[in-house]
Amino acid sequence: MCKRRIIEEMVRPTHGSEEYIAMIVDDKTLKVLNCCCKVSDILEEGVTVVEKIDKKRQPLPELDALYFLSPDNHSVKLLLEDFANEKRPQHRHVHIFFSSPLGEESSHMEKIAANPRLFPRIKTFMEMNLNFAAYESRTFHFDSPRSLIELFPLTHRGSEVLNDIADKILAVCATLGEKSPEIRYQTSPFPPAEQIARNVATRIDNFTRNLQPKDGRCTLLIVDRSIDLATMVLHEYTYQSMVFDVLEIPVCELPHKKEKEREKETTRERRNSAVGDAQGEKDGQAKEKADREGVDAEGYRQDDTFEYDYTNPKNQKEKKVAVLGEQDDLWVRFRHLHISEVYENAADELKELANTNVVARLHKGEKLSTADTAAAIRQLPQYQETIAKYFAHVTMSERCFAEYESRQLANLGELEQDLATGVEKGGQPIKDVRILTALSAFLSSPTIKKEDKWRLIALYFLMMEGVTPDALDEMLDRANLTLEQKAAMKKLVKLKLHESEDAGPSGKPSSRVDKDRQNHFKQRARREDIFELSRFEPVLKGVLERTVKGTLDKTKFPCIEGTGSRGLGGAKKGGSSMILGGRGKDKERGEKDKDKDGNSGAMWDWGDASTGAGSAVSAAGGKSGRGDTKRGGAGGDKEKDRIIIFVLGGVTFAEMRSAYEISNALGVEVFIGGTSVMTPRHLLEVCNLAASERALG
């Protein structure tokens, strides 16, 4: 949806079929662009170069420019500076697209209109409401890795942060075409969830007051990170979760300047060469090179990329980069499978391809007919690409297994599962004495990584009630953690995510897992088709199912007044229960994991011409790609029900997987997002950052 909006509403309308155009972005819009488009997607549409507005650029006064910018003071200032020299303007004509509304109090429009060197050159001026990262077909994030420490507790920037999040949630709803969802929020000791829910309700009401609601029901549910603490630090053994965890694949990275400079040095030359060639080569080889090498429009190593060694057909070793996204059909098929299944499937399919493919037979020297030989030659590039893709996944799964062995995750993971579920693998409630004995042994072991010790202590502290500060200090000392890791743990404690309003009296440590969840995990523990190290399931999986069935607790998840008429009220007939029954192992259903309708949901279509709200179209960023959108699935006239769930503080890969599982099992469209993508390494880094900033004053 977001890629389509960028191409169809922004790029194509701004230039003629015979002309090229430059595209200018800032840091924020570059991230939005990178999440939903490849370099080649943009360049092949007639964009000759993508440049950052804060970099020194060669003036191109004969070339039109598309400016895709955030409506902040810095970006607008740089836009005006591009046309400070009347005799040497940066570009001929300009098309300005802001990623979000300017706001009633903003003076940006007046400054632009008052500039005599810029204003006459403006051919387009639009607010796109496209200020979030469309991570996958059902997932999104706001690329705000610091949100956890800015929201819990709220900092001096509280009002600014809350308004920014509400604006972006509004943009998500708008992109999905949701005009009047039911809005619910999690009640907790922390105010942001309710405050943002009310802010979003006000914004939606202001934008859609005169528009008719669409058919189909939708619930927008806003929760905070306190809803599930275990999923932040637990080792996960499904492919996507494990790859990003133990192989430390970058995602929503904190903006450390030194790391950024290192990335620039190693990738700038490669990317500049690719973009430079793209301007002069019609065959698009350079554009494909940029995509293959996993670099963005500025030459930085992208998130979600894995570098590996590969031996090419000439028996030469080379570095390759796998981009872990939905453009890779193998990634989509494997990402939610258990790591052991991925390794077996990828290796077996690679062998079968090598044994049966006509190109492979040609390499082996088999005698082929003329037709077979011609077919093999035509398939050569595609065959080599497929082989490299399989090899990447075999390599990643092998490295995951190597980490699994070296970090002793078989034993460590059993203790983690006990703490996260409140029950042992046999289904009995955990006993604090046994837990502490096992914990002490791991913390004392010199062969356990310090990062894994930190995570184990964090899990114990977050999931066990009644742990005293002295007991925590003793664990930190026993684990021989670094000063930075100890400070990060103290910061995690100060976030107070573990504190609840109904907490019992302190005393002997006991599990925080409630009785209903423990009973659920007891049933899972007795099932033979569940991996022992996959007994845990995220809290949000149960929340999603109860939302579909209309049984979600209205006290714990109240509804904003006046928004409840379009919420989900009952279960779909024939939907299997993911909570009490479920489907065998926690598997992805192959290609069904994908969005069943390639055009799922509408674009920004709040201003559909049929509503008579033409002015809303212009303000919102253009007309919708279609009028009567039918959601998802198998084609009936009735639109599918939808759930949009948002996690303040960051969403985990396990929670993302749950959204796909509920979508497939219960016949609803579930979209899940967060302020960032949360991984265990990210939690440690952000807590360490906050602790160091506090130490510096």
Buried b (16+ CB within 10 A) or exposed e, 221-252: bbbbbbbbbbbbbbbbbbbbbbbbbbeebbbb
Q: Identify the CA nearest to 601 among candidates 642, 629, 633, 641.
A: 629
Q: Which residues contact 538 (CB under 8 A, 6 or more apart)?
A: 228, 231, 652, 654, 655, 658
Percentage of the chain lying above the pLDDT 70 cut = 76
Q: Are residues 92 and 177 in the same domain?
A: no
In eight-state DSSP terms, residue 123 is E
Out of 125-129, 196-200, 413-417, 603-607, pick the least confident: 603-607
Mean pLDDT on 191-199: 96
Residue 101's domain is classified under what CATH number? 3.40.50.2060
One-letter amino acid identity for 333?
Answer: R
Rounded Cα gap, residues 250 and 248, in angstroms: 6
Identify whether residues 357 and 443 lie together within a single domain: no
pLDDT at 156 over 50: yes
396 and 322 in one domain?
Answer: yes
Strands (E) in 342-409, as ranges, are none
Q: State which residues form the domain around 430.
A: 409-520
**Do residue 146 and residue 109 come from a single domain?**
no
The whole-number pLDDT of residue 506 equals: 57
Quick check: is 259 in a domain? no
pLDDT of the residue at 370: 54
Residue 454 and residue 501 share a domain: yes
Same-domain check for residues 158 and 222: yes
Q: Can you give the pLDDT at residue 566?
A: 75
* Residue where a domain terminates, one of 127, 147, 178: 127
User: 3-class SS at 463?
Assistant: helix
Question: Which of 372, 406, 440 delimits the end of a domain?
Answer: 406
Q: What is the pLDDT of residues 630-681, one digit of tens each?
A: 454 334 456 789 999 999 999 999 999 999 999 999 999 999 999 999 999 9
- Smallest Cα–Cα separation from 304: which of 325, 319, 283? 325
Same domain, 372 and 442: no
Buried b (16+ CB within 10 A) or exposed e, 99-122: bbbeeeeeebeeebeebeebeebe
How high is the pLDDT of residue 621? Answer: 32
In a domain, 290, yes or no: no
Residue predicted with more confidence, 330 or 565: 330
Element holding 642 (H helix, E strand): strand 642-648
**Residue 485: which pLDDT band, with cuts at 50, 70 and 90?**
very high
Residue 227 is classified by DSSP as G
The answer to whether residue 273 sits within a structural domain is no
**Residue recorded with tokens 């190290």:** 533
Comparing 598 with 120, the larger pLDDT belongs to 120
CA atoms within 13 A on the CB side of 18: 0
Q: Which tens digit of pLDDT belongs to each residue from 387-413?
A: 889 999 999 999 999 999 999 999 999
How many domains, the chain?
Answer: 4
What pLDDT does residue 611 have?
29
Burial per residue of 671-697, b for 16 or more beta-carbon CB atoms within 10 angstroms, e otherwise? bbbbbbbbbbbbbbbbbbbbbeeeeee
Distance CA 387, CA 395 (A): 12
> 329 in a domain, yes or no?
yes
CA–CA separation, 657 vs 676, rounded Å?
16
What is the Cα–Cα distance from 689 to 676, expressed in whole angstroms? Answer: 16
Residues 533 and 414: beta-carbon distance below 8 Å: yes
Asked if 186 and 227 touch (Cβ cutoff 8 Å), the reply is yes
What is the structure's pLDDT at 351? 83
SS3 163: helix
Of all helices (H) and strands (E), which one includes residue 66?
strand 64-69
Strands 21-25 and 64-69: parallel
Please give the average per-residue pLDDT across 143-163, as a whole number: 89
Highest mean pLDDT among 351-365, 557-571, 575-589: 557-571
Q: Does residue 132 lie in a domain region?
A: no
What is the chain's mean pLDDT, rounded? 82
* 629: its two tokens: 């959108």
Asked whether residue 553 falls in the same domain as residue 674, the answer is: yes
Tens-digit pLDDT profile for residues 289-310: 544 445 444 444 578 999 999 8
Highest-confidence segment of 249-258, 427-436, 582-591: 427-436
Structure tokens given for 560: 């904003």
CB neighbours of 582 closer than 8 A, spacing ≥ 6? Answer: 576
Question: Confidence band (pLDDT; 50, 70, 90) for 575?
Answer: very low
pLDDT class of 414 with cuts at 50, 70, 90: very high
Domain at 451, CATH number? 1.25.40.60
Of 79, 101, 127, which one is at a domain's C-terminal end?
Answer: 127
**Same domain assignment for residues 553 and 659:** yes
If asked whether residues 681 and 558 sit together in one domain, one would say: yes
| Selection from 143, 138, 228, 170 nearest residue 498 by Cα | 228
On whether residue 465 sits in a domain, the answer given is yes
Q: Are residues 621 and 492 in the same domain?
A: no
Tokens of 689: 């950052």
pTM of the model: 0.83
Tens-digit pLDDT profile for residues 488-536 = 999 999 999 998 655 555 568 999 999 999 999 999 988 878 899 999 9
pLDDT in tens, 450-480: 999 999 999 999 999 999 999 999 999 999 9
Position 283 in a domain: no
Do both 510 and 451 map to the same domain?
yes
Question: What is the average pLDDT across 594-616?
Answer: 33
Within-domain flag for 647: yes
